[in-house]
Amino acid sequence: MKLDERMKRYENAYRFHLTPRTPLIIRVDGKAFHTYTKQFQPFSDVFSKAMEEVAKNLLNNVEGAKLVFTQSDEISLLLTDYNTFKTQSWFDNNLQKIVSVSASMATYYFNKFMESVSEKPAFFDSRVFNIPIEEINNYFVWRQKDCMRNSIQMLGRMHFSQKELHEKNTTKIKEMLIEKKNIIWEKDLPEKFRSGIIFLRDEEKSKTFLFSENANIVEELLKREE
């Protein structure tokens, strides 16, 4: 066997492909952002805007992307490859390429937006997986609930010590904020920080809504063309 053929066999042994004609989720996360974000105030508009720009750029440049949801330092992108019989999947559903390229795209877009604000470079990692159509909305409900929980905890840390918050769940933290600080999470924290930001394909304006109450949005995006 020739050398190049032998080397290709090693390489191809780990060339995995995701299931075709099935919804796909890409989630990119900031790497070690608990350290990176220390340079910003909690609920920073600058940081939030940077994540919005990354989300929009991924939505507009990833083939088959239908919807993107971002909260905190993570972005979830929904892809389909079955709108028509001739619809192609991104990188032929090559898992390694999708993971590496999506992470590098997020890293580039974020650092480009932040170059005038921060001298520290940021990095993103990525994961990708197929998911049944029936679970798509549940996935986004899950990530949105994570956003809500994290925002309550972060708001609590802004106003109470670690000792005061010890073993306090989100319901108790909200009660403490109202009783001791006269802060109402649902009213005083902007909606984008409470429930995340959403962009739909071909719609430039961001949206904020609860996936648990808007399953029809996802259902419409997943429809096949006749």
Cα–Cα distances in angstroms (integers) from residue 161 to residues 90, 114, 164, in the given order: 47, 31, 5
Q: What is the rounded average pLDDT of the residues 78-91?
A: 91
Q: Is the pLDDT of residue 224 over 70?
A: no
- 225 pLDDT band, cuts 50/70/90, is low
- Encode pLDDT of 30-40 as tens digits: 999 999 999 99
By percentage, how much of the chain surpasses pLDDT 70?
A: 99
Q: Is the pLDDT of residue 216 over 80?
A: yes
Residue 226, pLDDT score: 43
- 26 pLDDT band, cuts 50/70/90, is very high
- 128 pLDDT band, cuts 50/70/90, is very high
Residue 52, pLDDT score: 97
Contact 164, 51 (CB under 8 A): no
Taking the CB of residue 93, how many other CB atoms lie within 10 A of it?
22
Contact 97, 22 (CB under 8 A): no
- Encode pLDDT of 129-144 as tens digits: 999 999 999 999 999 9
- Encode pLDDT of 135-177 as tens digits: 999 999 999 999 999 999 999 999 999 999 999 999 999 999 9
How far is it, in rounded angstroms, from Cα 218 to Cα 133? 9
- Encode pLDDT of 171-206 as tens digits: 999 999 999 999 999 999 999 999 999 999 888 789
Non-local (6+) Cβ contacts of 135 within 8 A are none
Average pLDDT, the chain: 94
Q: What is the rounded average pLDDT of the residues 46-75?
A: 97
Q: 15-137+190-221 belongs to which homologous superfamily? A: tRNA(His) guanylyltransferase (Thg1) (3.30.70.3000)
Residue 190, pLDDT score: 96
Amino acid identity of residue 127, one-letter, is R
Contact 153, 170 (CB under 8 A): yes
Q: What is the rounded average pLDDT of the residues 110-136?
A: 96
Residue 86, pLDDT score: 85
Residue 200, pLDDT score: 94
For the chain, give me the number of helices (H) and strands (E)?
A: 10, 5
Residue 218, pLDDT score: 86
